[in-house]
Structure 1
């Protein structure tokens, strides 16, 4: 890996966050585009939609299928993407706890379809993007990682 690639990867692994209108965003996503609460319904929806990355879309790999499902979950590259996704989720949770000790967040890793990492703040009166108790597919420990972040405290569930 060239040092310029390593530097870019480091910014994904240990990202810079920005605050806009009391919402927290990954600096490297298109967070400053116009967002409308009528489209997203709530602040949790805005943050969880804009603050996510599809691991297989971000890196070169050979786990692609031509038809649905578009990823070969048995391919070694898919399995590597799952490990990268879990590592991203853990590092984002830690960085959020350091950068915003007075805010609460929920960070997710989801495996199925394409490993995805996303986060949002816990907004009073709004449901989380995903909750294990209310989702049948979120009970698979290998498929979903949910990290609750409260200041310098983390709870993995």
Structure 2
């Protein structure tokens, strides 16, 4: 819980955020996750899910896990341009983001399990997640992580 003094309340009520870039970055750090038609998705824009066609999604991605892992992909360099030429810092940021996302997913969906997957190819870093489903396998098999010879892979298991 946060408690405020009067000066802080006055300052907080005067904040006006106009800069869309700032809002986009904050939404990735402490994102909004929504459950729509059984999918858990990272909210990227207003109205993202108004026309979510489950049948079309399943015909393209074959399962819910594949769609979630694809849709929920977030490439660090696309939002944090200060680290474009610093690949190891991108990776460090993704690891920290995965901790934040774990916290948020646990809080928002306490009865679900998730995999948060971090991929690093030496230049670019991606982070994505999907809900674990008994009827579908994981998007990346934990026992086969060393099979990805050209990429570094980490999976944070959220239970």
Rate the CA distance shift 1:14–1:148 in 2: closer, same or farther, 3 A: same
- Paired residues for 1:127-138 under 5 Å: 127-137=137-147
Bigger-Rg structure (1/2): 2
* In structure 1, C-alpha distance between the alignment counterparts of 2:90 and 2:146, rounded to whole Å: 23
For 1:114, the equivalent position in structure 2 comes to 124
- Bigger CA drift: 130-139 or 38-47? 130-139
Q: CA deviation at 1:137?
A: 4.0
The separation in 1 between residues aligned to 2:37 and 2:31, in whole angstroms, is: 19
Q: List structure 1 segments (4+ residues) > 6 angstroms apart after TM superposition.
A: none
Equivalent in 69, 73, 78 of residue 87 of structure 2: 78
How far apart are the structure 2 equivalents of 1:44 and 1:52?
12
Shift of 1:61: 5.0
The CA RMSD measured in Å over matched residues stands at 2.6
Q: Within the alignment, does 1:23 sit opposite 2:39 as a pair?
A: yes
Give the Cα–Cα distance (whole angstroms) in 2 for the partners of residues 139 and 132 of structure 1.
14
Provide, for residues 30-76 of structure 1, a one-character-per-residue CA deviation record: whole Å limited to 9, x for no partner: 8525452121010100100000111122232575xxxxxxxxxxx5x
Q: Which structure 2 residues correspond to residues 8-157 of structure 1 after superposition, within 5 A? A: 8-28=24-44, 31-32=48-49, 33-34=52-53, 35-60=56-81, 63=84, 77-112=86-121, 114-137=124-147, 143-150=152-159
**Which consecutive unaligned segments of at least 5 residues does structure 2 have?**
1-16
Quick one: structure 1 residues 36 and 9, their matched pair in 2 at CA, closer, same or farther if it must change by over 3 Å?
A: closer
User: TM-score normalized by structure 1?
Assistant: 0.73
With the length of structure 2 as denominator, give the TM-score of the two structures.
0.73
Aligned length: 135
Q: Which runs of 5+ in 1 are unaligned?
A: 64-74, 151-157
8 Å CA contact 1:55, 1:116 repeated in 2? yes
